[in-house]
């Protein structure tokens, strides 16, 4: 995604405020003995073919996504030599268009999501939710696997086991009513124990640093879009505490390009 705003979005002091910034839509593909698990889907094939109708003009104008089929999760899964039917499960941080738009590309997958988030997406009770949740992404009748609140504890936080003991939903509400981080157990021999896809719990890597900071345009965007900004900030603080206290956890945002490059380097080493 290439929004305008330059350093107000990217945090790069050398960038003009009139230049474009770079953001990503970070998904995880997890290979297991019984097939693939996809954490978030990004945009789908139909989204890039008809963006204004499926994503909304507001999203397209603000995010300015690169609309190429090669960027979609399904095409990247195929480029790795798999078939889309090999994706047995999709686990979602939340149901915004840039996280769940690709659901129709995996119609046979079980779709795991926090029940609170599913309920909000189906109700679309506010103007904000009518914009962020698009019925076209769910009209194919996903095979929902809904997870109720009140599960186990994971590093002291409420959690729900989504796929055995290896993929865990960790509610981090605020950005949406049922937003969650998704923790994936790292492969044996890794330098960390868990990869933690934090979705939109924060947008900029320095938000969970020892001296939290976010570029002003991103900070304004987050507070404006959040259904409960206080809860969002509290949960971002909890993630920051996890990062400081547990070096065995690798946390990353869905949209921060620095987090993306760091994680890509770590997982390809």
In a domain, residue 1? The reply is no
DSSP secondary structure string, 39-71?
A: E---S-HHHHHSHHHHH-HHHHHHH-----GGG
Position 269 scores a pLDDT of 54
SS3 content of the chain, % helix, strand, coil (to 5): 40, 20, 40
Tokens matching residue 43: 């945009």
Q: CATH number of the domain that 100 lies in? A: 3.60.15.10
In a domain, residue 2? The reply is no
Rounded mean pLDDT of 100-112? 98
Rounded mean pLDDT of 5-9? 95
Whole-model pTM: value is: 0.95
Number of domains observed in the structure of the chain: 1
Task: Please tell me whether residue 189 adopts helix, strand or coil conformation.
Answer: coil
Question: Which pLDDT tens digit goes with each residue over 125-147?
Answer: 999 999 999 999 999 999 999 99
High-pLDDT (> 70) share of the chain, %:
99
Strands 160-163 and 167-171: antiparallel
Q: What gap in Å lies between CA 181 and CA 60, rounded to an integer?
A: 25
Rounded mean pLDDT of 39-66? 95
Q: What gap in Å lies between CA 208 and CA 7, rounded to an integer?
A: 19
High-pLDDT (> 90) share of the chain, %:
90
In a domain, residue 243? The reply is yes
> Of residues 101 and 149, which shows the higher confidence score?
101
Q: What gap in Å lies between CA 264 and CA 266, rounded to an integer?
A: 5
* Residue 116 domain boundaries: 7-268
pLDDT of residue 250 exceeding 80: yes
Position 268 scores a pLDDT of 66
pLDDT of residue 151 exceeding 80: no
pLDDT of residue 164 exceeding 90: no
Burial environment of residue 259 by CB neighbours within 10 A (0 to 12, 13 to 18, 19 or more):
buried
Q: What gap in Å lies between CA 231 and CA 220, rounded to an integer?
A: 16
Position 165 scores a pLDDT of 84
In a domain, residue 62? The reply is yes
Task: Please tell me whether residue 78 adopts helix, strand or coil conformation.
Answer: helix
Position 175 scores a pLDDT of 98
Rounded mean pLDDT of 232-250? 96
pLDDT of residue 69 exceeding 80: yes
In a domain, residue 119? The reply is yes
């Amino acid at each position: 995604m290439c929004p305008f705003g330059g350093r107000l979005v990217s945090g790069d002091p050398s960038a003009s405020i009139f230049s474009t910034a770079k953001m990503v839509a970070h998904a995880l593909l997890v290979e297991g003995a019984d097939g693939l698990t996809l954490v978030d889907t990004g945009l789908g094939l139909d989204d890039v073919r008809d963006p204004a109708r499926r994503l909304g003009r507001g999203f397209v104008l603000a995010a300015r996504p690169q609309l190429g089929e090669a960027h979609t999760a399904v095409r990247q899964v195929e480029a790795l030599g798999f078939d889309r039917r090999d994706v047995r499960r999709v686990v979602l941080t939340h149901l915004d268009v840039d996280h769940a738009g690709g659901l129709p590309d995996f119609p046979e997958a079980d779709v795991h999501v926090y029940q609170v988030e599913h309920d909000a997406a189906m109700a679309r009770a506010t103007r904000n939710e009518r914009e962020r949740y698009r019925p076209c992404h769910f009209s194919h009748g996903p095979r929902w696997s809904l997870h109720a609140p009140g599960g186990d504890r994971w590093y002291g936080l409420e959690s729900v086991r989504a796929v055995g003991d290896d993929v865990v939903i960790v509610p981090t509400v605020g950005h949406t009513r049922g937003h969650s981080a998704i923790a994936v157990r790292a492969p044996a021999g890794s330098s960390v124990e868990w990869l933690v896809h934090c979705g939109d719990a924060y947008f900029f890597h320095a938000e969970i640093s020892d001296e939290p900071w976010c570029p002003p345009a991103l900070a304004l965007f987050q507070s404006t879009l959040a259904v409960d900004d206080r809860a969002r900030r509290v949960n971002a603080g909890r993630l920051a505490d996890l990062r400081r206290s547990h070096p065995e956890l690798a946390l990353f945002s869905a949209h921060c390009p620095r987090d993306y490059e760091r994680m890509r380097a770590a997982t390809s080493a």
